[in-house]
Structure 1
């Protein structure tokens, strides 16, 4: 089953793309809540390139690595990747209200569909706020 989350970012497409694909930016926005953070990120932004980010609870109680391989990269438009046996697609579309970012990903079996949707949406909302606060 695919889960889809989306937001519209009021910023130029180049700023949105850069923030989504640059490790220095990723560590600043990639968290679903204030008690989590991303401590490191690595991006090899090309088809066949690997990415990873380390997400941890700020109290140090738990953490995990989110890793994958890009299968399609179209600058300012599209990212597709695999992570484990799952896939994800992120579309970036310019419009009159800003850049619409749509993330569609394969559900996993541990957490409920609603938990997954809420978590990924929270991260995307944090991304939107970060970009809007930091773009010129």
Structure 2
């Protein structure tokens, strides 16, 4: 299976980045790839074996889907490893840097879209995350 890795540097403390990644109110503010989409609801049980479910949809209501899975391992303020409902795995790393927090996300590619399309979509979400955290921390 092809693995895709994306990353960003968030100019905010590690604790702020971590909290925004695991807090439902924050997740609904950043978890979409493009401005025509939104994430109206997010449920998360942040423990090994715990589940999450984020409803993502077009703002016009024309299409939507559940992004859901189960946590495999969690190392607070370091890594979150989870399995999606289609068995693809995702690992998110949080690394404290001099200027803030580096977030590295590695995920198994799916078969429907090209690797570049997936990379761009996930990067769009990660860039929204960066903007959200930096705005909240400033």
Calculate the aligned-residue CA RMSD, in Å.
0.7
| Displaced runs of 4 or more, over 3 A | none
Say if 2:97 is the partner of 1:95: yes
> Partner of 1:49 in structure 2?
50
> Partner of 2:129 in structure 1?
127
Name the TM-score, length of structure 2 as normaliser. Answer: 0.97
How many residue pairs are counted as aligned between the two chains?
136
Take 2:99 and 2:5, find their aligned partners in 1: how far apart are those partners?
A: 20
Unpaired segments of 5 or more residues in structure 2?
none
> Partner of 1:27 in structure 2?
28
Unpaired segments of 5 or more residues in structure 1?
none
Match of 2:102, SS?
A: strand
> Partner of 1:109 in structure 2?
111
Name the TM-score, length of structure 1 as normaliser. Answer: 0.98
